Structure 1
Amino acid sequence: MKFYKFFILFLFAGGLITSCSNNDDIEDFPEEKPDNSLTAEEELELEIKDFEYKAMDIWYYYNDDMDIYNDNYFGNQSELNEWLMTWDDPEELYYDGLLLNYPDTDRFSWIVDDYEELENQFSGTTTSTGIDYGLTYACDGCNNIILYARYVLPNTPAEDAGIERGMVFTEINGQELNINNYSSLLAESSWTLTLGEISDSGVDSTSETIDVSKTTVNENPVFITKTLDVDGKTVGYIMYNSFIFDYSSELNAAFGELKAANIDELVLDLRYNGGGRIDTAIDLASMITGQFNNEPFVKFQYNSYIQNVYESQGSDLTYRMDSTVNSPSGEEGTNSLNLSKVYVIATGSSASASELVINSLKPFIDVVHVGTTTVGKVQGSNTFYDSDAPNFDKDNSLNPDHKYALQPLVLSLVNKNNEAHPEGLSPDVEQREFISTYGILGDPNEPLLATTLELIRTGSRNMIPFEKTGKVPTNVISESKAEQFNYQRMYIDVNLPDQNN
């Protein structure tokens, strides 16, 4: 049993302090230490660090593999406090002390100093120019990087500036992009982008520039919904770019359109979808099918402590497909297509909840994957706030003195057959994207969609991939959503087990 479960709130005092936090969210408190006690700043820093450790000690998926989470590693609270204050700040403690081999083993857990910004991103609200972009090398063997537009969100500065999919840019604010400076240049609030031109040798700069600034953007992840006539078959096409709960109704409405069109086949485009909320992924699977109501879709696996708590309560760690969609306005009936096959476009930018849909649908229906190998993200996370243990949720006991929150990995997911693919999901038919032949998203001639439609026409997976290679492959170094907290993350919002029973 974790020793601090028997503790109530306590006052922080005494102890040797090696450093103070310089985080901007912590107010400047007096430096003096009367009677050798902690300053107010140090007390707050210790509160934050104590919350970090105790939440991770209970919930962190990998805590069975780390000695610091053993029950007797710290004999009492004073020993824990001394260890916590050896770390310079809450971020250093989290990434260097509390995670398993960050970033090699665990690169998907994170900490934020403003949970309101995190919550905004979970709801689809970000600060952006409106360009969904990728970054890749400008040529073979060079260090220069280009920014290329994958799509542009409507009603944003990027759209107003005339930026379109397939445009490439070599400079930001007069500086050539390279592996060392791209992060700092992308962080600037306004950009003067130098347009590039694809040539036989790579990408060359031009003298043309485009000015664009960042603003608050609300992205509806249901980007395209349409139907196509393919040799007499009605094919539904939906491009879905993130599993955002706040747009569950919009996703369900899109499937309502496809259902009303009585489609014969469905192409689900997840090529740029880095994941998101797990229950939204389950809703999407139920929209594609519908004939498997109450069937097990995904199983959750926790660390040994949480797993034992669940099992002692007889809890079911299986989450099932159902006939209702959870949305901000409440439950609504699922617009299910009752399909026995789905074609999914997925790439190296498809992760977590996107992979969950593909992997967990495979035991039920034929899933045909076109594109490239996916990321291989099979763990899920949960948000923890500085409030009462054991659930650390955003309740009435929330600490009002700071806005730190944790988003650690807490579980691993497998399908009904106990299968997972941490190495990524390999395509049935491989087709890479090349910037010079990008095409228009949703157009039947766009290479990835064209390959998929040819599969529908022929009914054979042994076909030769659509041969439209082109120049400058999209070997992604980074992408726009990498600047967000929830990049390639999969998270839950479900009732956690009551450990007091």
Structure 2
Amino acid sequence: MKFQFWLSLVAAVSMTACGGGGGSSGASTGGSSTGGTGSGSATAPVWTAGVYNSESQYKDYCANPRSGADPYNSNQPYPDKAGSAMHEKMWLRSWSNRTYLWYRELPDRDPASYTVAAYFAQLKTEQSTASSAAKDQFHFTQDTASYNQQTQSGVSSGYGIEWSVQSTTVPRWFQVAYTEPNSPASNAMVKRGDIILEIDGVDFINDPSQAGVNTLNAGLFPAASGERHQFKFRRTDGTEYSLTLTAANVASSPVQNVKVLNTSAGKLGYMQFNSFITPAQPQLISAVQQFRDQAVSNLVIDLRYNGGGLLALSSQLGYMLTGPNIIQNRYFEKMQFNDKYPNTNPVTGASLAATPFYSKQINYEQNTLTSTSLPNLNLSRIFVLATGNTCSASEALINGLRGVDAEVILIGDRTCGKPYGFYPEDNCGTTYFTIQFSGINAKGFGDYADGFVPTPAPQFDDQVKGCAVADDFSHALGDPAEALLASAVEYAQSGSCPVSASSSTDNPSLRSDSRSAVPALLSTPAVRNPNDRVLNQSIRSPIHEQEQP
């Protein structure tokens, strides 16, 4: 059995679990991809338009091969051999041509004039969705060692801040969405809603220079634990403060704020769930057991910042929310690959089979399904809090539940729109993420490339019954007065959206005067977006997918 991923965060994430080193194809303990670990020669290959040799001729031939043992692959030696950048690019070309979902839409450009990173960046479709958005917004890479550390242990280097990003160019606007417990940010009393004003003396909102952006990026994305940077913030009440944040290896707590609220509709459970990563499994089980013990009749899952992760974990959560009486042997999701592989998985070679609602615990380190049953709540209605950062495995949960006729009430904003997934693949120390499949639920629906939209009276399949409500940065997550949670409680009690529900996600009351001090300058350099699907180095890398064990 091999577990793979969809593309959120965390990331997500997103978010997210295993894979990478040792030539793996998304497995937590390594394993060879189709084509083996390289059967070519060290002589630099030559590109010929339209001719695609087997990727095995180029796999693991590296311009800078790693040496030693891979701690994330049972300390097996790295498979790298002396090669060239052209080997790495030609491997990317053949691998993409064989497995990319939209391989027919790939350009075939001579890789000689590109760096490896730049060549991979253009190996994606240039087509658009029905709303004119880019069809593939989820094409990215990550350092393999960092990826493995984040997905397998939930640890990443930084301050422990999840950002809400409204603009990366002048006037820039980054706001704290939440902080991880016991992180440098939470220990320094950085709060949800705080807005960045300066980093290391540079005006975060208005500085138009490349030199300024370089300083801002260095502060936002510290290169190593122990790095120190000076920040200036403004709180939602207008108070400004400065502090020095020291980067550290921060352990993610994917499940937070588990609580039960007493309402006129009965007991209502709430949990903030940030990423579908391996450490979340025991935390989700504990939360569900708490809800079951207190006999909740309604449940709110806060996925507003959950960028994705393991589809297997998403299916497990789907089972725990509902149970066998509601699922009735229907599947969670079915994968569809490109037309070269109508019946088999191009990465594993296995016959295609639908992903079930897993009813057992999974040993993600050994990639095995255990005999230990999961608890379930037998709920036929679930409230989901969502924003544009709700992606991938989070959307698969929504779609999978709807596929078995569980009612989903969506509160917040349109989700990110990613019904696609991939198998993270390591080559020469970089893990690559390229779209390889789409997913459909038990009713055959998976066309939500522009996201799920909350609406009181749905008319189309990508519209979900619910309320459009602006993200509320003036209250802590889990606070019953916070707008999204308060709207869910109101809906549970009255059966309809609150009158104050709003579709705007940009709260003017939180804007500082300096945000409008200069007009938007599209030509000014942008800071890196920590939530960007290409640049994301966080735990919420938007990845998820799962093969049936």
Instruction: Say whether the fold is shared (TM-score over 0.5).
Output: yes
CA displacement at 1:479 relative to structure 2: 6.0
CA displacement at 1:404 relative to structure 2: 2.7
> Which residue does the alignment assign to 2:144?
115
Q: Is the 8 A contact 2:156 2:538 kept in 1?
A: no
The answer on 1:13 being equivalent to 2:43 is: yes
CA distance in structure 1 between the partners assigned to 2:269 and 2:235 by the alignment: 34
CA distance in structure 1 between the partners assigned to 2:431 and 2:191 by the alignment: 37
Aligned residue identity for 1:62: W
1:339–1:88 distance in 2 versus 1, CA, 3 Å:
same
The answer on 1:297 being equivalent to 2:323 is: no
> Which residue does the alignment assign to 1:367?
408
CA distance in structure 2 between the partners assigned to 1:315 and 1:214 by the alignment: 45
Q: Is the 8 A contact 2:102 2:338 kept in 1?
A: yes
1:346–1:479 distance in 2 versus 1, CA, 3 Å:
farther
Aligned residue identity for 2:187: D
Consecutive aligned runs of 4 or more in structure 1 exceeding 6 Å deviation: 4-8, 14-17, 467-470
1:194–1:324 distance in 2 versus 1, CA, 3 Å:
same
Report Cα offsets for 1:427-446 as digits up to 9, x if no partner: 121110243xx212212111
CA distance in structure 1 between the partners assigned to 2:160 and 2:114 by the alignment: 36
1:383 pairs with one of 419, 424, 436: 424
TM-score scaled by structure 1?
A: 0.77
> Which residue does the alignment assign to 1:230?
263
CA displacement at 1:296 relative to structure 2: 1.4
CA distance in structure 2 between the partners assigned to 1:50 and 1:314 by the alignment: 25
CA distance in structure 2 between the partners assigned to 1:164 and 1:337 by the alignment: 33
The answer on 1:464 being equivalent to 2:505 is: no
CA distance in structure 1 between the partners assigned to 2:36 and 2:252 by the alignment: 45
The answer on 1:443 being equivalent to 2:469 is: no
Aligned residue identity for 1:450: A
CA distance in structure 1 between the partners assigned to 2:194 and 2:316 by the alignment: 35
CA displacement at 1:154 relative to structure 2: 1.1
> Which residue does the alignment assign to 1:452?
488
Matches within 5 A, 1:333-344: 333-344=373-384
Give unmatched runs, 5+ long, in structure 2. Answer: 1-33, 48-61, 67-79, 128-132, 455-465, 516-526
CA distance in structure 1 between the partners assigned to 2:105 and 2:121 by the alignment: 16
SS of the aligned residue for 1:306 comes to coil
2:99 pairs with one of 55, 59, 69: 59
Matches within 5 A, 1:123-142: 123=152, 124-136=154-166
The higher-RCO structure (CA 8 Å, 6+ apart) is 2
CA displacement at 1:284 relative to structure 2: 0.9
TM-score scaled by structure 2?
A: 0.71
Q: Is the 8 A contact 2:255 2:283 kept in 1?
A: yes
The answer on 1:348 being equivalent to 2:388 is: yes
Q: Is the 8 A contact 1:131 1:152 kept in 2?
A: yes
Q: Is the 8 A contact 2:301 2:385 kept in 1?
A: yes
Q: Is the 8 A contact 2:312 2:358 kept in 1?
A: no
Aligned residue identity for 1:129: Y
CA distance in structure 2 between the partners assigned to 1:285 and 1:195 by the alignment: 39
1:299–1:466 distance in 2 versus 1, CA, 3 Å:
same
SS of the aligned residue for 1:159 comes to helix
CA distance in structure 1 between the partners assigned to 2:151 and 2:63 by the alignment: 21
Aligned residue identity for 2:355: Y
Structure possessing the higher radius of gyration over alpha carbons:
1
Matches within 5 A, 1:387-402: 402=428
Matches within 5 A, 1:11-90: 11-13=41-43, 26=64, 43-66=83-106, 68=108, 83-84=110-111, 86-90=112-116
CA distance in structure 2 between the partners assigned to 1:245 and 1:5 by the alignment: 28
Q: Structure 1 or 2: larger helix share?
A: 1
Aligned residue identity for 1:230: T
> Which residue does the alignment assign to 2:452?
425
SS of the aligned residue for 2:332 comes to strand
1:42–1:451 distance in 2 versus 1, CA, 3 Å:
same
CA distance in structure 2 between the partners assigned to 1:473 and 1:263 by the alignment: 38
The answer on 1:403 being equivalent to 2:429 is: yes
Matches within 5 A, 1:275-294: 275-290=308-323, 291=325, 292=327, 294=329
> Which residue does the alignment assign to 1:490?
543
CA displacement at 1:298 relative to structure 2: 1.1
Bigger shift: 222-231 or 99-108?
99-108
1:101 pairs with one of 94, 104, 126: 126
Q: Is the 8 A contact 1:360 1:415 kept in 2?
A: yes
Q: Is the 8 A contact 1:371 1:432 kept in 2?
A: yes
Q: Is the 8 A contact 1:245 1:328 kept in 2?
A: yes
CA displacement at 1:369 relative to structure 2: 0.5
1:87–1:125 distance in 2 versus 1, CA, 3 Å:
farther
Give unmatched runs, 5+ long, in structure 1. Answer: 18-23, 29-39, 69-79, 387-401, 497-501
SS of the aligned residue for 2:421 comes to strand
CA displacement at 1:184 relative to structure 2: 4.5
1:470–1:255 distance in 2 versus 1, CA, 3 Å:
farther
CA displacement at 1:299 relative to structure 2: 1.5
